[in-house]
Chain A
């Protein structure tokens, strides 16, 4: 079992490296180099050359990559070409905001997805199930940004229940209650599609489990439904739910980036998008690596959790 976990850690490393290479290459894919491209129109050639030397861009690519990676690991993420401030400062703050929103989205996704899925699966064939399936079918195809806009329109503009922009009220207390208030709509918008996907899966699993042979065994012993649901349905749902939620993390992160745009949430998505527009390579590279690293970490955690839950790995053996 520990061996399996260690293997997982080991496997994560090459992935990280591969992504770093890709990111680096993409940044240097265009003609010329990042600095020249970004600043060619604004500065005289000598200044550009000086800056290039400063950034080490006159060295061969492999050396540049090695240097960059080394700095990245050490925490020195370079200086933004556009903002002239250390990338680390800028990203750390916005990434924190993104994580907050992402965590809220995961919570909504889990709660909503499991609730809808279980209800719909247990009441299969009834109107509840039919309605849920319809909502899932249609909502699945709603673009995230559209869901966000709808929510803004209905709950923000018309009903005025929730704020529609930013993290805090500029003039208010800026306490956690205010934060929560601002968090609701964006979290729901980001979570909707993943929630529906999870609900669909949970429903299928519930139907599977309720029709399974082992449930029949315990039913045949005269055990009441509530016990069956609590024990057997509950535990057997755990793995698939974690599995799918883990897989949805990427999708959720994508959704969060869209939502940041729609709701003006000061997260890393907006940051990266601006950086892309301004061709701010150090920012983009560091930003993408940050998100990737975080994402790989979440994947790892999910895999490890699944391994821990897997009875086939627990006692470490096959049939006697």
Chain B
């Protein structure tokens, strides 16, 4: 009888690899292959890495001081000698300002999103797993926050703390966390009642054990994927806040600020002042979007 059982199962088994360690390494390699195959995602990754590198190296890469003005050359179009992308309304080099502005844009958007991902994982896990009234109430508050016009919050924070990077960063954390928490919460709720959780508890797992080792792996992917895409959206949002004047203050370079300044000279025909930073914002946001989509395919073990 034992014999019959093994033969049937052996027919299903087509694994020649008996060494477990090889299996793990090839799983990781497999993921990399799949990411590579998704060309858009790869492109996105490249763009992001480039942006990070270039921004970090801004002090050495920028051909001119971003805040120094050459009034005679103001509004010169792209292609002017020594000024790749032209000059803005005050005669400052747009390219250098883009590089330096990148630092602020990335600093103001990415760390807050990372913080929001961590915060949302904690909140979502706790609220999603426990039963009772308080988790439901917390999620209700989160729901309201989720749809709240964040610009108002930004205005409020800017008034209290003064405009600048802290107001913007806090606003981003407040914007991103509800959205991500909802995603995590939904995931945890879906998994909470599944039998593998029951099985783990049946073996004596503590709540922390269940949350971290059983449920987290199932919801972390969604959080990372949405977080990545959200980072793109936050770059746009941060630029918007700067555009309104709530972020970096002049004369420091900032993409949103640059677009605002460019808007004023748009009617004069100098489109390049606003266009360059706007395109950069869109490109970086798209890059995060593509990367997020690619990650979604890659991190699902059913690949």
**What is the interface of chain A, defined by CB distance below 8 A to chain B?**
11, 15, 18, 23, 26-27, 29-30, 137-138, 140-146, 149, 152-153, 157, 246-251, 253-254, 257-258, 261-262, 269, 272-273, 276-277, 279, 281, 284, 288, 291-292, 295-296, 299
| Number of chain B residues close to chain A: CB under 8 A | 40
- Interface positions of B (Cβ within 8 A of A): 140-141, 144, 146-152, 155-161, 232-233, 236, 239-240, 243-246, 256, 259-260, 263, 266-267, 271, 274, 278, 281-282, 285-286, 289
Chain B, residue nearest A280 (CB): B159
- A146 touching B278, Cβ below 8 Å: yes
Residue from the list A11, A145, A269, A279 in contact with B159, Cβ < 8 A: A279
- Other-chain residue from B141, B151, B236, B245 in contact with A257 (beta carbon distance below 8 A): B151
Q: A15-B144, A27-B160, A276-B159 are in contact. Are A152 and B289 (CB under 8 A)?
A: no
Q: Contacts A269-B151, A299-B147 hold; do A157 and B141 have CB atoms under 8 A apart?
A: no
Which residues of chain B are within 8 angstroms of A295 by Cβ–Cβ distance?
Answer: 147-149
Contact of B240 among A11, A258, A292 (CB under 8 A): A258
Question: Which chain A residues lie closer than 8 Å to B263 at the CB level?
Answer: 145, 149, 262
Is A30 touching B267 in the complex (CB atoms < 8 A)? no
Q: Which residues of A contact B233 (CB under 8 A)?
A: 141
What is the minimal beta-carbon distance from B215 to any residue of chain A, in angstroms? 26
Least Cβ distance of B167 to chain A in Å?
10
Q: Besides A26-B160, A295-B147, 20 other CB < 8 A contacts?
A: A11-B140, A15-B144, A26-B157, A27-B159, A137-B286, A137-B289, A141-B282, A143-B239, A143-B278, A145-B259, A146-B259, A146-B282, A149-B259, A153-B266, A247-B147, A253-B152, A258-B243, A276-B155, A276-B246, A288-B152
Q: How far is the CA of A152 from the CA of B159 in the complex (A)?
A: 30
Query: A149 contacts B266, CB within 8 Å?
Result: yes
CA distance A296 to B233 in the complex (A): 24
11 cross-chain CB contacts under 8 A: A15-B144, A29-B160, A141-B282, A143-B236, A143-B259, A143-B281, A157-B267, A247-B147, A250-B146, A254-B150, A273-B244
Q: Are B147 and A249 in contact (CB under 8 A)?
A: yes
Residues of A near B286 (CB, < 8 A) are: 137-138, 141
Given known pairs A27-B160, A145-B240, A276-B158, the reply for A138 and B282 (CB within 8 Å) is yes
Instruction: Name the A residues within 8 Å of B232 (CB-CB).
Output: 141
Choice from A143, A284, A299 contacting B156 with Cβ under 8 Å: A284
- CB-based contact A141/B289 at 8 Å: yes
The answer to whether A15 and B159 have CB atoms under 8 Å apart is no
CA distance A295 to B144 in the complex (A): 9
